[in-house]
Amino acid sequence: MGLNGRVLIVDDEPNAIKVLSAILSEEGYEISTASNAELAMSQLEASSRSIDAVITDMKMPGKSGMQLFEYVTESHPDVPVIFLTAYGTVDSAVQAVTRGAFYYFIKPPDYVKLKSILARAVEQRQLKRELEELKKRIASEHVQPFIVGTSAQMHRIVEVIDAVKDSGSSVLISGETGTGKELLAKTLHFTSSRRDKPFVAVNCAAFPRELMESEFFGSEKGAFTGAVSARVGKFEQAGEGTLFLDEIGELELSLQAKLLRVLQEREMERLGSNKKIKVGFRLVCSTNRDLRAEVENGNFRRDLFYRINVVHIGVPPLRDRSSDIPIIISDFLSEFCLKEKKVLRISEEAMEAMTGYSWPGNIRQLRNIVERAVVLAKKDKITLKELPEEMLQAAKEPAGPVASSQKTLKELELETVRSVLEECKGNKSKAAKLLGISRKAFYKKLKEVQPF
């Protein structure tokens, strides 16, 4: 395929084909030609996936350009069609555009404008092809998560994961809220020899303390009030696979002791039973806390810390790997365009605003904002209009010494929290959702903004 794509030119006039082929070849397109609609249909039937656009005359011997368009619309709807027409058939061309043709030009065309329109048509076709591939990948039963990023930090993380993926050693993943710690845990599991075994995730901050023990261990019928049937716990569900304990720093001390015992003995009992059940899962934990400090403060067991921290992976916040932001945006854009059945690109101004933002909610916040922008976008691209106000305000702040250059990242983060809360008129749930962080994490940051 040519540098810019492959274009099929259909015209019964050899000179018209010759001139247009020469002009578009210079632009980097690979050109195919047909002297009538029947030959064009044959080419499309044989290789429609490699053709990115069709430029066709309207009036030709045999089947007309309109009949060719009707064929393309029915059999190859993702291939854009551009018409070349004489003055006498303008009405037909206008009718075709209202039915979905990409554009029409009156002969002889303005070649500068034609090249610009063709570039848009080919870009749309190629985006649709990418969405098709993404849709197939998502539909596959064996889709594996992957780490997005080309920065040096992410390369090091990939190297560590590759080195330890088939080991049974416990892994501790640390990083701020929203940095993608669960994605790393999934990558570790689904690229390992345990990939066909269960991946069981438990958010330690999401369950009330009184329910967490039965969530871990399961229970027999009648073990406690409300236990009307036997229930398999997460330890048992994980089997020989991977157990991912998200935010393990939230686990209370009594449960830490019981988890340690399971890790040491490799067996457990359901609540209400004395039957020993063997467990062979690999443990992967995550935390947004400094667990060493928690150990020193008596909030986390030292022996459990050393047991879960055999291999440590530190995930940098998004602001420290801004070079990864465009590729992450591209990945989310493909995902949500597929979901919303849209074909969009991001304007240079919007991309600049997003790469220059501090992202206090990290990847989770970025994902939410891309989803929001895709839903709001009414044309073919995402502009500054589709981005949240607090992001645009941050971009407008002067970069002088009194402003952002002398502010710490923490100060900038707290300013953003304050700004979002004001924008949401004090609605904490809405503000937390907009930032892409949990309510618990938001309240923690809010204490720093409003200490009293």
Q: What's residue 186's pLDDT?
A: 92
Residue 169 vs residue 406, higher pLDDT: 169
Residues 6+ apart with CB under 8 A from 101: 69, 81, 82, 83, 93
Residue 60, pLDDT > 60, answer yes
Residue 107, pLDDT > 70, answer yes
| Residue carrying the six token digits 């020193």 | 296
Q: What is the mean pLDDT of the chain?
A: 84
Q: What's residue 153's pLDDT?
A: 87
Query: Is-contact 309 172, C-beta < 8 A?
Result: yes
Distance (Å, rounded) from C-alpha 334 to C-alpha 344? 9
Alpha helix locations (H) across 27-151?
37-47, 65-75, 90-98, 111-139
Tally of CA atoms within 13 A in the half-sphere of 45 that contains its CB: 8
Residue 141, pLDDT > 80, answer no
Q: What's residue 408's pLDDT?
A: 47
Distance (Å, rounded) from C-alpha 364 to C-alpha 18? 52
pLDDT digit string, tens, across residues 262-279: 999 999 998 888 889 999
**DSSP of 356-425:** TS--TTHHHHHHHHHHHHHHH--SSEE-GGGS-HHHHHHHHS--STTTGGGS-HHHHHHHHHHHHHHHTT
Band of pLDDT at residue 409, cut at 50, 70 and 90? very low
Q: Domains in the chain and their CATH numbers?
A: 5-125 (3.40.50.2300), 152-314 (3.40.50.300), 318-449 (1.10.8.60)
The token pair that represents 313 in the structure block: 């992976």
Q: What's residue 372's pLDDT?
A: 94
Band of pLDDT at residue 123, cut at 50, 70 and 90? confident
Q: Residue 244 is inside which H or E element, if any?
A: strand 242-246
Residue 143, pLDDT > 50, answer no
The token pair that represents 432 in the structure block: 């937390």
pLDDT digit string, tens, across residues 304-342: 999 999 999 999 999 999 888 988 898 888 888 888 888
**DSSP of 251-301:** S-HHHHHHHHHHHHHSEE--BT----EE--PEEEEEESS-HHHHHHTTSS-
Burial (CB count <10 Å: 0-12, 13-18, 19+), residue 348: exposed
Average pLDDT estimate for 140-163 = 74
Residue 145, pLDDT > 70, answer no
Measure the CA angle with vertex 134, ends 130 and 135; round to 5°.
115
Q: What's residue 188's pLDDT?
A: 92
Considering 212-221, 286-295, 325-334, the range whose residues carry the highest mean pLDDT is 286-295
CA atoms 422, 428, 431, 437: torsion sign: positive
